[in-house]
Structure 1
Amino acid sequence: MKKLYLLGFMCFISVVGTGQTFDFKIDHFALVVEDVDKSAEFYGNILKLTETPHPDKKPGFRWFIVDGSSQIHLIQKEFAPFEKNKSMHLCLATQDLEGVIAHLEKNKIAYSDWPGKKNAVTLRTDGVRQIYIQDPDGYWVEINTAVH
């Protein structure tokens, strides 16, 4: 019986010890947009993200810093339209959701809870509060109070 336990423990250690781990961080999220300047206005002035220059200074590209080194890249290109489902969204976390909501209302940006009720906030079962907005191209953005 001891040999069976020892064999099981060794198998467990070999599986756990050989598992590959990568130290991933989100570098950027790229969005194809119809009008890069209109979208940049939204991400810069509505979401208050800081713009950072494209390294090649190419036209049709605008980059914004989200947190530290994570970025959103806006790329102006033609592409096949598709349904922008709320389940496919960018999520930004803040501890000042009330300030964000006041800023959205001041700028006449519609927001809703997950089911779609206008000017409402979802309270998740884990205590996180969240709202949803759409950018000028119809991409969904969740803003919540999750702590990381």
Structure 2
Amino acid sequence: MKPYILLMCLLMGVQLSSAQSFDFKIDHFAIVVDDVDKSAEFYGNILKLRETPHPDKKPGFRWFIIEGSSQIHLIQKEFTPFEKNKSMHLCLATQNLDTVIAHLKENNVPFSDWPGKANAITKRTDGVKQIYIQDPDGYWIEINTAEH
């Protein structure tokens, strides 16, 4: 009886270990841009992201660290234009939204709430505040106060 119980425990352990998650982390988000230097100026100076070198130092690539090891990769290539719908966006969280808004205003970067009202902030039902901006290529970026 004891070997049978031991075998059952072992099989249940194997099943449980195979049911575990992959523990994914976001490594990077890549976007294709028209002018990599113009976009890099925005991500570096407006969003204050720190640039990190491309490992092969290839022209047309600029990489920026979002937080920890997560990055955004800007890639200059020809591509078929498409509609940049606000529902498809990068989201950055900060607890300094007022400072971000002041910085956007100082740099004449327009922002809006979710419906599109200029200089307005959306307050979600969970209390998170959010604004939306667009980069030089028209990609949407949400900046919110969610805590992680």
Structure 2 equivalent of residue 30 of structure 1: 30
Aligned-pair CA distance for 1:118: 0.1
Structure 2 equivalent of residue 126 of structure 1: 126
Give the distance between the partners of 1:15 and 1:130, measured in 2 at CA.
42
For normalisation by structure 1, the TM-score amounts to: 0.89
Matched length? 137
For normalisation by structure 2, the TM-score amounts to: 0.89
1:73 partner SS: strand
Structure 2 equivalent of residue 50 of structure 1: 50
Structure 2 equivalent of residue 64 of structure 1: 64
The answer to whether 1:93 aligns with 2:90 is no
- Computed over aligned residues only, the root mean square deviation of the Cα atoms, in angstroms, reads 1.6
Q: Percent identity?
A: 79
Give the distance between the partners of 2:87 and 2:15, measured in 1 at CA.
34
Structure 1 equivalent of residue 138 of structure 2: 138
Q: Gapped runs of 5+ residues in structure 2?
A: 1-12
2:91 partner SS: strand
Structure 2 equivalent of residue 39 of structure 1: 39
C-alpha distance after superposition, 1:81-106 (max 9, x if no partner)? 00000000000000000000000000
1:82 partner SS: coil
C-alpha distance after superposition, 1:89-132 (max 9, x if no partner)? 00000000000000000000000000000000000000000000
